[in-house]
Amino acid sequence: MASQFSSKSAGSSLADLPKSNVFTSKLPPDPAFETPASSHSAPRQTLGPRLVKGALYTFVRPEPAEEPELLGISPRAMEDLGLQSGEEQTAEFRELVSGNKFYWDEEKGGIYPWAQCYGGWQFGVWAGQLGDGRAISLFESINPETKTRYELQLKGAGRTPYSRFADGQAVLRSSIREYIVSEALNALGVPTTRALSLTLLPKSKVLRERIEPGAIVARFAESWLRIGTFDLLHARGDRDTIRKVATFLAEDVFQGWESLPAAVPLGKDQSTAAVDNPSRGVSRDEIQEHQGVEENRFTRLYREIARRNAKTVAAWQAYGFMNGVLNTDNTSLYGLSIDYGPFAFMDNFDPQYTPNHDDHFLRYCYKNQPSIIWWNLVRLGECLGELLGAGRDVDKEDFVKDGLTEESAETAVKHAEKLIERTGEEFRTVFLNEYKRLMGRRLGLKTQKESDFQELFSEMLDTLEALELDFNHFFRRLSKLSLAKIETEEDRKAVAPIFFHIEGFGGIGYTEDSAKDRIAKWLNSWRLRILEDWGTDHDAERQRAMEAVNPNFVARGWILDEVIERVERKGDREILGRVMQMALNPFEDEWGLDKDEEERFCGDVPRFKRAMMCSCSS
Ligand code: AMP
Ligand code: MG
């Protein structure tokens, strides 16, 4: 197996790792299989596709895997879960991550695996019940040191009641992509679901456009709940369960109601600082009234979800990442990047770019991501609408039992609309603050100035777009540029080509001279801002600060394609370990692995492999 690394803390064995099943013990199961035993005694094929109502999940075991081959693990994931390094060599680990083991038996009980039920809006259209069609959760792990609880699940582990017309499997190709990008995004500091391991199922034959090998990614997250979870309950008018799931989220996924943003008066006296730094510690019953619209605890929960997603989408924009299919079932309530299909990192900067081959209207293209996430959050607002709109009556017995009356409905709807609108302002503010913070950091700035947005960010992006230059390379090359080299106009023009591709630049209407001119002009604005923030004697420090946030290695489409090709067709296993190590340490200059390969992967993207697209088939 490809390279292993020792983890910092000792960690525990899989057997000793504390495990829980808070999710299945607090939320309602599929009424057709109310207990693990009833599911376990049912033939596997009876757990196939059907409609499941009034439930958050179905108990369902993974399909046994024949001769699974562990292809790789993420050492960082092992560490974060609290597993000791070397544990991946054990039969127990290999059986677990391939779906051949779970911690339950008929006599002693334990934790039975489950698949979640949810729905979703896909490309703006209501799609009905979806659910974990090929993902099966095994248990929640608790890191003994950090106490962080993660739900560990296998993607590609067989059919479930939520598989609809599909086979419950995942192909090796898409599994490699998810395995690497999950860990790559995490290393960049972008909130994401994680990947522990990649297992090949050599005996499987999965039919997509062609027959392909199947695989399983063992992945984990603080929560796999999605906006689509609420969408389905809302579509079915299941008020009780909506309230239950919202309460579960606040109390068992987040750190309790008190940890959510305090009720903040917005409106006339709205201050950005107040919005972005809400004081914590508001008691459960504390309700603040503003302009006649009250924020109860469910509104604060809604705001927390919106704020988290605002920060995550800001990080996508700042690092040029696109999910590719931002349906509500792929939008996490915990604010994680989730469900990796036709995702990509930006090569040449192009705001209209989408990696999704089937997205003909560019609904999920780069520049639309923030507004699409907000669109999804409005759907969530509608699901929670009655809880938001009820204000301080939210715990009154009549309301809990029967909901709004005809008289109370009109005001409640108005209130809910107002609260959603106000959360929209907050989403925008949090998004912009985070985007500016990350972009400022990527450009080496220590302070923020009003004029940065226009003069530095926008002008830089317009230049990259106009000259068809690479987004992430630009930041890395800028990090390494010393101010001494760009003191005069002549100097700046002379260094401008470091941002070019091997074959030069693209775009229409530029000559070599005017292209260099445009870059030189921007470099001067940037240089002056750096001098303002750092003075003249700290350039080495500034360069180090920039290198620590601007990756040298980016998990780009063309690299993932090469990895897939080599693993699948050439039987190469080592490449996976090397690319994982680069993905986990993206800010290094070199990794001591394979120098030529490192340089190739971090260098200019081969001309015809830029801005690749994928289909949704996975
Ligand atoms: P996605 O486009 O990956 O977000 O998937 C949308 C829905 O289709 C989810 O409910 C998935 O679980 C389900 N799905 C996708 N591929 C498969 C498959 N091969 N087998 C079963 N369900 C699948
Ligand atoms: Mg999905």
- Rounded to the nearest angstrom, the distance between the alpha carbon of 329 and the centre of ligand 2 is 5
- Measured in Å, residue 118 CA sits from the centre of ligand 2 at 10
At 22, the amino acid letter reads V
Contact 369, 351 (CB under 8 A): no
**Per-residue pLDDT for 456 more than 70?**
yes
pLDDT band at 273 (very low <50, low <70, confident <90, very high): very low
Looking from the CA of residue 330, the nearest atom of ligand 1 is: 4
130 in contact with ligand 1, CB cutoff 6 A: yes
Identify whether the C-beta of residue 134 lies closer than 8 Å to the C-beta of residue 160.
yes
Calculate the average pLDDT of the chain. Answer: 94
Burial code of 504-539, b = ≥16 C-beta within 10 A, e = fewer?
ebbeeebeeeebbbbbbbbbeebbebbeebbeeeeb
Spatial neighbors of 139 by CB under 8 A, at least 6 apart, are 19, 20, 21, 102, 103, 111, 113, 151, 152
Buried b (16+ CB within 10 A) or exposed e, 390-406: bbeebeeeebeeeebee
Q: Name the helix (H) or strand (E) containing 541.
A: helix 539-547
Q: What is the pLDDT of residues 86-122, one digit of tens each?
A: 999 999 999 999 999 999 999 999 999 999 999 999 9
Atom of ligand 1 nearest to the CA of 327: 4
Distance 212 CA to ligand 1 centre (A): 17
Identify the residue whose C-alpha is closest to ligand 1 atom 23: 133
Question: What residues have CB less than 8 Å from 371, skipping those under 6 apart?
Answer: none
**pLDDT value, residue 271:** 41
Residue 338 CB less than 6 A away from ligand 1:
no
Distance 133 CA to ligand 1 centre (A): 5
Q: Is 131 in the pocket of ligand 1 (CB under 6 A)?
A: yes
Indicate the pLDDT class of residue 10, thresholds 50, 70 and 90.
confident
pLDDT class for 289, splitting at 50, 70, 90? very low
Q: Is 210 helix (H, G, I), strand (E, B) or coil?
A: coil
Query: pLDDT band at 617, cuts 50/70/90?
Result: confident
- 132 in contact with ligand 1, CB cutoff 6 A: yes
Is the CB–ligand 1 distance for residue 156 below 6 Å?
Answer: no
Return the residue whose CA atom lies nearest to atom 7 of ligand 1: 130
Name which residue sits closest to atom 13 of ligand 1, judged by CA.
133
* Contact (CB, 8 A) for 332 and 323: no
Residue 368 CA to residue 556 CA, distance in Å, equals 20
Contact 483, 539 (CB under 8 A): yes
Nearest to 68 by CA among 154, 178, 167: 154
pLDDT at 279 over 60: no
Helices 239-248/227-235 angle, 10° precision: 160
CB within 5 A of ion ligand 2: which residues?
329-330, 339
The stretch 15-37 carries a mean pLDDT of 98
Q: Which residues contact 592 (CB under 8 A, 6 or more apart)?
A: none
Catalytic residue among 30, 132, 329, 347: 329
395 a catalytic residue? no
The confidence score (pLDDT) of residue 270 equals 41
pLDDT at residue 288 above 60? Answer: no
Helix (H) or strand (E) holding 73: strand 69-73
At what angle are helices 574-584 and 557-570 packed, to 10 degrees? Answer: 160
Q: What is the pLDDT of residues 326-351, one digit of tens each?
A: 999 999 999 999 999 999 999 999 99
pLDDT at 522 over 90: yes
CA 183 / ligand 1 centre spacing (Å): 21
Ligand 1 centroid to Cα of residue 166, in Å, is 7
Instruction: Answer yes or no: is pLDDT of 264 > 70.
Output: no
Per-residue confidence (pLDDT) for residue 293, from 0 to 100? 79
pLDDT at site 8:
52
**Nearby residues of 38 by Cβ (< 8 Å), 6 or more positions away:** 59
* Token pair of 80 as six digits: 């974060």
List the domain boundaries for the chain.
Answer: 19-224, 230-440, 452-547
Rounded distance between C-alpha atoms, residue 583 and residue 602, angstroms: 11
Which residue matches tokens 């499941």?
A: 52
Ligand closest to CA 117:
1
168 pocket-lining for ligand 1 (C-beta < 6 Å): yes
Q: Are 260 and 246 in contact (CB under 8 A)?
A: no
- pLDDT value of residue 501: 97
Cα–ligand 2 centroid distance for 133 (angstroms): 9
| The length of the chain, given as a count of residues | 618
The string of pLDDT tens digits covering residues 166-211 is 999 999 999 999 999 999 999 999 999 999 999 999 999 999 999 9
Nearest ligand 1 atom, CA 206: 19
Q: What is the pLDDT of residue 168?
A: 97
Q: How large a percentage of the chain has pLDDT more than 90?
A: 92
155 lines ligand 1 (CB under 6 A): no
Among 114, 162, 332, say which to mutate for ligand 1: greatest number of ligand atoms within 8 Å of CB.
Answer: 162
Question: By the 8 A CB rule, do 200 and 215 touch?
Answer: yes
Confidence of residue 291 (pLDDT cuts 50, 70, 90): low
